[in-house]
Amino acid sequence: MIPLTLKQIADIVGGTTFGDESQIINSAPVFDSRLAVKGSLFLALVGENSDGHDFIDDAISHGATGLMTTKVVPGDGVVVNDVLLAVRALASYVRKQLPNLIVVGITGSSGKTTTKDLLASILSSRAQCVATKASFNNELGAPITLLECDEKTKYCILEMGARHKGDIAALCEMAKPNVGVVLRVGTAHLGEFGSVEKIAETKGELIQALAPDAVAVLGTYDPHTKAMKSLHAGKFIYFGEDSHDDVRAADIEMREARPHFDLVTPAGRDAVGMRLIGMHQVSNALAAAAVCTALEIPIEVIASGLSTADLASKWRMQINDVEELLIINDSYNANPESMKAGLDSLVLFAQERGGASWAFLGQMHELGSQSDELHASVGAHAHQLGIDHLVIIGTRAFAAGIPAKSATTLHYCEDITQALSLVSHFAPGDVVLVKASRSEHFETLSQGIEDSWKASQREDKK
């Protein structure tokens, strides 16, 4: 963060100071008191279940230099009416002070975090790069990420999520992106928006907000994204697997469930062999490559970066090979498109290893009135792929997609504890996929499967 005194911050956000207003803030704000460090500003956010003001003493003990609150408290800080609005105003100010900063905004129904991680891996090899941590892509995460930047930062990559129409437009007003990326429009958060068309309108806010000299990067995987061409008067770069796309993949093949392909851009052609799992990673890689193409990064640097990038965010297609049992922990979140992609990867691994395929699937949230239909479509995909065992946990909706005569064995479990009882049916060489929406906390299931399998193998060796 660029250094600012508490007095300067108060003037920027329309607040008033208390304590020593000359204290200098030179580290990005935090809202978790445990993450406070010397030079940081602690944000006393008030939520449904907690009040940040209750953690002020802890923040100070961890080193926080200043506080942003809605009331005067012991210490040094700034009082504002709304902490969230104030931190956004502060981020907007900092953005204006960094005219040479290149901001990349990324949105889409799926793939944002992996694309961000791939892009950060490439750009950070060239210059100082700040990127959204994990998938902290909301109205708080974006300004905090932007506030991490200073005069030495060349690139800032912002994931832009949305729950309501206008959310992305507001983030763009603050961040002023130089490059805007829409990956694809799908059914994630369908319950919030009501229709895919409204989701497309909201994602399109990123393209509509771009200045004429900014670059729009669009995937060609769905008609809604391609239709966004009318929203921007400047340059476009298209990515996909069509021969007409500016950035595309040719000669795709899978090796140990990892994609290998030739990256084709206007600058030429180079080979990519990814470390990430799944065919769906190709589109994420192409999106990152398209942004780099817009930024005039040499193709050999792009190809090398895509080939060496590892998974930076946890619980996303995380592979654990545990005593001849392969566990694919993709438990961070789920929507119909990413569930089907996960099943595709599961089948590839099982075919290569010669073991049985087990899909442990939990509920996908925020799908609205189409929830049952979309869950059933995932079940149907599992049947079509010939998944050996489909374990559905907490919801029976997946089962509607499985015909009576199916090669897929269906298991219904009330909860994670019951699902863990199936570990006794595993055999060496089997492959297990674990996936559900974030609030289902399936990372505990993945860990439980690993622990139970290890215990069973120890028993077998006695």
Burial class (CB in 10 A: 0-12, 13-18, 19+), 223: exposed
Segment 353-375 mean pLDDT: 92
pLDDT of residue 366 exceeding 90, the answer is no
Please name each of the domains of the chain with its CATH number. 4-82 (3.40.1390.10), 98-308 (3.40.1190.10), 318-461 (3.90.190.20)
pLDDT class of 313 with cuts at 50, 70, 90: low
Query: In this structure, what are the phi and psi dihedrals at residue 401, rounded to the nearest 5 degrees?
Result: -90, 0
Segment 169-184 mean pLDDT: 97
pLDDT in tens, 388-416: 999 999 999 999 999 988 999 999 999 99
pLDDT of residue 189 exceeding 80, the answer is no
pLDDT in tens, 43-94: 999 988 889 999 999 999 999 999 999 999 999 999 999 999 999 999 999 9
What percent of the chain is modeled with pLDDT above 70? 97
Residue 66 is predicted with a pLDDT of 98
The number of C-alpha atoms within 13 Å of 129 and in the hemisphere containing its C-beta is: 18
pLDDT class of 335 with cuts at 50, 70, 90: confident
Burial annotation 170-205 (CB, 10 A radius, 16+ → b, else e): bbbebbbbbbbbbbbbbbbbbebbeebeebbbbbbb
Residue pointed to by tokens 């077998």:
460
CA dist., res. 425 & res. 329, Å (int): 19
pLDDT in tens, 8-45: 999 999 999 999 999 999 999 999 999 999 999 999 99
* Residue 258 · residue 275 · CB < 8 Å: yes
Residue 315 is predicted with a pLDDT of 56
Burial annotation 339-368 (CB, 10 A radius, 16+ → b, else e): bbbbbbbbbbbbeebebbbbbbbbbbbbbe
Report the length, in residues, of the chain.
462
Residue 16 is predicted with a pLDDT of 98
Closest CA to 280 of 312, 309, 316, 314: 316
Segment 248-273 mean pLDDT: 94
pTM (predicted TM-score): 0.79
Residue 139 is predicted with a pLDDT of 86
- Angle formed at CA 110 by CA 105 and CA 112, multiple of 5 degrees: 30
Segment 241-245 mean pLDDT: 91
Segment 158-169 mean pLDDT: 91
CA dist., res. 98 & res. 150, Å (int): 7
* Residue 331 · residue 316 · CB < 8 Å: no
Q: What is the 3-state secondary structure (H, E, C) of the chain?
A: CCCEEHHHHHHHHCCEEECCCCCEECCCCECCHHHCCECCEEECCECCCCEHHHHHHHHHHCCECEEEECCCCCCCEEECCCHHHHHHHHHHHHHHHCCCCEEEEEECCCCHHHHHHHHHHHHCCCCCEEECCCCCCCCCHHHHHHHCCCCCCCEEEEECCCCCCCHHHHHHHHHCCCEEEECCCCCCCHHHHCCHHHHHHHHHHHHHCCCCCCEEEEECCCHHHHHHHHHCCCEEEEEECCCCCCEEEEEEEEECCEEEEEEEECCEEEEEECCCCCCCHHHHHHHHHHHHHHCCCCHHHHHHHHHHCCCCCCCCCEEEEECCEEEEECCCCCCHHHHHHHHHHHHHHHHHHCCCEEEEEECCCCCHHHHHHHHHHHHHHHHHHCCCEEEEECCCHHHHHCCCCCCCEEEEECCHHHHHHHHHHCCCCCEEEEECCHHHCCHHHHHHHHHHHHHHHHHHHC
